[in-house]
Structure 1
Amino acid sequence: MQLNFTDLSANQRYHLMTQTIIPRPIAWVLTDSGDENYNLAPFSYFTAVSSKPALLMISVGKKPNGDNKDTLTNVLKNKKMVIHIAAEHQAEIVTQTAATLAHGESELANAGLTTSAFDDFPLPRLTQCDIAYGCELYEIKELGDIPQTLIFVEVKQLYINDTVVSQDAKERLNIAADKVKPLARLGGGEYASITAPFSIQRPE
């Protein structure tokens, strides 16, 4: 089967892209809606894009009514966000936090999640996640007719749970993916977990 994307609607393209670009990591993003009322939302259009500067990117669409999503509204105002890597056992809660709520209504309270202080960063992190990036807004780009918003953020702080990290003989940090058990996104309502990690030596 071969499909010509020029013949497809935006919804058809989205459906096919999300089912074929698999698995996708999930950015579980915490932002401040004001008065320490935190918004939390998952995004699977998410990736690392640069190491110098250390940049991550999430792609954010609109709410069903066409308004900006709270994540975009908050980061435009406060210039900060915390991106978490969710675990496979949190799939149900991650999905709950994708619900469209009124601005200022916190997904954390609805999901029973808690936060911990993020040293040297103004926003807290989710206590329940092994990995969290404290990020500052770097750049925003809008694409398409709707439009879709690309949010580029620079990593300022990285939290890693001590139970999932070790140090090798060269004093490099190694993250145990099989302990993190990261949650991945597939198409529709499907998610995936990793199987046993394996290594292959790259050629010189």
Structure 2
Amino acid sequence: MTLSATHHALNFSDLTPREAYKVMIGTIVPRPIAWVTTVSPDGVVNAAPYSFFNCLSADPPILALGVENKPDRSFKDTAYNIRMTECFTVNIVDRANVEAMSVTAAGFDREVDELEMAGLTSAPGEKVACPRIAEAPVAFECERYLGIEVSSAREIILGRIVMAHVRNDIIDPATCYSDHERLDAIGRMGGNGYAGTLDYFDWPTPSAEDVLNGVRKKAATGGV
């Protein structure tokens, strides 16, 4: 293989947190979006999207959220509610709900119900005390598993999935396989960008034997 491009070497110890953030969100893409619903101790429902999110384990089933604190280092509503109630729900964002999701990202005061502002429907949780978003194609009810304070600015929250709600036309409950086209999930890019998951292709993982046979064939033919 001939290298046709050079790389900028970025030492993260020389970058400000904002610069590091820009490098990461512009290159670690697309990132799945956790549309998190929680409820305050006073019963106020909160909804907010987070793209520092992914699944980490299936046994036990664990999701991870990276939640940034407010500029004064106080907790955002999501982190505060999870600490106080020990539960949250991760709703998956599809193309049909992008506008509503963006409304819930606005900086409302703590007493404001973002679902109401976005015209969304709150459905009660079955295993946890907080609701899910009825319009979301998928929702994972989670119990707080562990909180990791990585700095005064950010916390990583691990949640154990205790219940999933998947729209009927998306999943085959007999095989647990989901139809990505019907799901039509949206991921986060850098800046204000989003990307859909319909740009999809299959690429099977080869066996070690297939790879070695290919190497031997190239060597025997002079790389042709």
The two structures share one fold, judged by TM-score above 0.5: yes
Higher deviation after alignment, 193-202 or 11-20: 193-202
TM-score (normalised: structure 1) = 0.91
1:176 maps to a residue whose letter is: D
Q: 2:41 maps to which residue?
A: 34
What pairs up with 1:86-125 in 2 under 5 angstroms?
86-125=93-132
Mapped contact 2:97–2:136 kept (Cα < 8 A):
no
Mapped contact 2:180–2:198 kept (Cα < 8 A):
no
Structure 1: stretches of 5+ with no match in the other structure: none
Is residue 178 from structure 1 mapped to residue 185 from structure 2 by the alignment?
no
Task: State the shift of 1:130 in Å.
Answer: 1.0
Paired with 1:65 and 1:88, the residues of 2 have a C-alpha distance of 34
Structure 2: stretches of 5+ with no match in the other structure: 1-7, 208-224
Task: State the shift of 1:35 in Å.
Answer: 4.2
Return the structure number with greater relative CO, CA threshold 8 A, min gap 6.
1
Paired with 1:24 and 1:123, the residues of 2 have a C-alpha distance of 25
Paired with 1:126 and 1:105, the residues of 2 have a C-alpha distance of 16
Q: What's the RMSD between the two structures over aligned residues?
A: 1.6
Is residue 201 from structure 1 mapped to residue 194 from structure 2 by the alignment?
no
Paired with 2:128 and 2:10, the residues of 1 have a C-alpha distance of 46
TM-score (normalised: structure 2) = 0.83
Which of 188, 192, 196 matches 1:189?
192
1:98-127 deviation per Cα after TM superposition (whole angstroms, max 9, x unaligned): 122222211111111112233344332111
- Whose radius of gyration is greater, 1 or 2? 2
Paired with 2:47 and 2:132, the residues of 1 have a C-alpha distance of 11
Paired with 1:43 and 1:93, the residues of 2 have a C-alpha distance of 14
What pairs up with 1:10-29 in 2 under 5 angstroms?
10-29=17-36
- The share of aligned pairs that are identical, in percent, is 30
Higher deviation after alignment, 21-30 or 105-114: 105-114
Paired with 2:125 and 2:82, the residues of 1 have a C-alpha distance of 17
